[in-house]
Amino acid sequence: MNKRTSATARILAVLALVAAFVLVVVAIGDVLGGGSDGSNGQGRGEGAARRAEPKRPAPTTYEVKSGDTLLAIASRTGVSVARIERLNPEVDPQILIAGETLKLR
């Protein structure tokens, strides 16, 4: 191995070591709550639990939009596909019409 290749390899090794160190520091800061998620330094568990508390009740109806599927509507509203089908037996789940209203409760 010549001197030039050896020096380049050493420089690359040092850069890789520095990059690994930075990644570890960032990961530790994230775990300890030092991330920029707006939690004011609180641990992720506390901030996530506080943000998850205010759940909105599921809406009582949903107006179908172009391209909607029952699965997408269920995901968006938090109401299962089976429940939507049970509450709307007249609706063909394969052919949803934009503008029709589905009962969710």
pLDDT in tens, 3-18: 667 888 888 888 888 8
* 23 has pLDDT over 60: yes
Of residues 13 and 51, more confidence is placed in 13
Domain count, the chain: 2
Same-domain pairing of 68 and 98: yes
Q: Do 69 and 41 share a structural domain?
A: no
Secondary structure letter of residue 62 according to DSSP: E
Helices (H) and strands (E) in the chain, counts: 4, 2
Q: Is the pLDDT of residue 100 over 90?
A: yes
Residues 6 or more apart in contact with residue 22 via CB below 8 angstroms: none
- Do both 42 and 77 map to the same domain? no
Specify the pTM. Answer: 0.47
- Final residue before a domain boundary, out of 52, 72, 92: 52
| Domain enclosing residue 92, as ranges | 61-103
d(CA 74, CA 4): 62
- 92 pairs with which residues across the strands? none
Residues with Cβ < 8 Å from 67, sequence gap 6 or more? none
pLDDT of 43 above 60: no
The residue ranking higher by pLDDT, 73 or 34, is: 73
- The CATH number of whichever domain residue 93 belongs to comes to 3.10.350.10
